[in-house]
Homo-oligomer: A and B are copies of this chain.
Amino acid sequence: MTNGTRTEPDSAYGPGSSDDGDIYRRFLADLFGVMAYGELSAFERMSSDARFSPTLHDRTVLGRLAVREYEHFECVTEHLVKLGLDPEAAMRPFQPSVDAFHDRTRPADWFESLMKFYVTDAISDDFYQSVAARLDPATAELVLGLKEEAEPAGEVLEARLQQALADDPRLASRLALWGRRLVGEALTQAQRVVLERAVGGGHLQGPAQGVYGDELKTLFAELTRNHSRRMSRLGLTA
């Protein structure tokens, strides 16, 4: 472990030393790496899907949300640079699993893509907020600050989904099924990312250890509960 990062060509971390600060830096590289790649991917998928919106108004609203994902991506990569880390190297380890998630959850139509962004955005927000509790204050502020918006994406998407379900109640059973599939895939994905990096990157030690182990179960139970609550607000069975 001591100088394993030295020989890894894709590593975002600086020259390895095994003190706590170094382990924390690696943890931050992983955290911001997966956030950044997730946001870049969400931007691309969301803006592509926006094109199939039923109205021009929907296209512009979805476009704006996609742009916001890109702005978050830029904010996070700037922070990586400030930490002396290479954003591309930090993102790369998460590319296969995030891409696989999107490949396994291709929306069949515009309403399914709306639902996909609603569900996955909320779960990743919850996830990062929970992680933020374990970060130094400056980093926590950055992570939480990304979500402080005049008009949160979740609210915009929820309102639009409620309207769609009111316009066409037959959507409900399809979207409920799709919601269950999405939450399953998202949690599997999140778990894989955490475990892969926890084992592979040696993050079981250090200040971030609290995220792994038993607490992980508690966290995932909470993510599931919050998801069910959101589905209820849409009048759907989770």
Contact = CB atoms under 8 A, between A and B. Distances in A.
Contact of A59 (B44, B45, B57, B64): B44
Contacts of A92: 56
B47 A44 contact: yes
A176 B92 CA distance: 34
Contacts of A238: none
Contacts of A51: 41, 44-45, 48
Contacts of A66: 47, 70
A105 to B, nearest CB: 15
Given A47-B48, A48-B47, A40 B67 contact: no
A91 interface: yes
Taking the full assembly, how many copies of this chain does it contain?
2
B43 A47 contact: yes
Contacts of A70: 63-64, 66-67
Interface string A73-109: 1100100000000001001100100000000000000
Contacts of A50: 44
Q: How large is the interface on A (under 10, 10 to 19, 20 to 34, 35 or more residues)?
A: 20 to 34
Contacts of A57: 88
A91 B56 contact: yes
A60 interface: yes
Interface string A167-179: 0000000000000
27 contacts: A40-B59, A40-B60, A40-B63, A41-B51, A43-B47, A43-B63, A44-B47, A44-B50, A44-B51, A44-B59, A45-B51, A47-B47, A48-B48, A48-B51, A56-B88, A56-B91, A56-B95, A57-B88, A60-B73, A60-B77, A63-B70, A63-B73, A64-B74, A66-B70, A67-B67, A67-B70, A67-B71
Given A40-B60, A43-B63, A44-B50, 14 more contacts: A40-B63, A43-B47, A44-B48, A44-B59, A47-B48, A48-B48, A48-B51, A56-B91, A57-B88, A60-B77, A63-B70, A63-B73, A64-B74, A66-B70
Interface of A: 40-41, 43-45, 47-48, 50-51, 56-57, 59-60, 63-64, 66-67, 70-71, 73-74, 77, 88, 91-92, 95
